[in-house]
Amino acid sequence: MFRILKKSGRVVGGAAVGTALLMSSVGLVGRGAISAQASGTSVMVQTETLHYAPTTASGGVWSAYSGKPVQMECWTHGQYYDGGAKWFYVEDLYYPFPSGYVPANSVGHQTIVGLC
């Protein structure tokens, strides 16, 4: 569907206009539109073992405790656990800075990370 804008005389796709209007009405256009999701400190919402692989069978030595900040490094699919199959590879931000895989539902304030 195409229509002509009266002021400029340009031909614009109806879907593009609708999308632009929707994005501006919900605040997705402008400076810092995704900054809240793109950066910040993630926090463990429950205590989890830092696993060697994205499965509970892989074991682990260290734990990331509830309320502690973690750095999300990447994500992957793994064992279905704690309501989902998505796992994050995280680094605990406290000494001795252990790292490993945790179920995604255990991490709050999630940031945007790439696939592992």
Would the pTM of this model clear 0.95, i.e. be above it? no
Mean pLDDT taken over the chain: 77
In the chain, the N- to C-terminal Cα span, in Å, equals 40
Contact predicate 45/106, CB 8 Å? yes
Q: Does residue 36 have a pLDDT over 90?
A: no
Q: How confident is the model at residue 31 (pLDDT cuts 50, 70, 90)?
A: very low
Q: How confident is the model at residue 1 (pLDDT cuts 50, 70, 90)?
A: very low
What's domain 35-115's architecture? Roll (2.30)
Query: Which value, in Å, is the radius of gyration of the alpha carbons in the chain?
Result: 21
Strand runs (DSSP E) across 1-116, as ranges? 2-4, 11-13, 42-44, 48-49, 63-64, 69-81, 84-92, 99-103, 107-108, 114-115
Model pLDDT for residues 82-116, shown as the tens digit of each residue: 999 999 999 999 888 999 999 999 999 999 999 99
Q: Which residues pair with residue 108 across a beta bridge? A: 43
> Domain extents for the chain?
1-33, 35-115
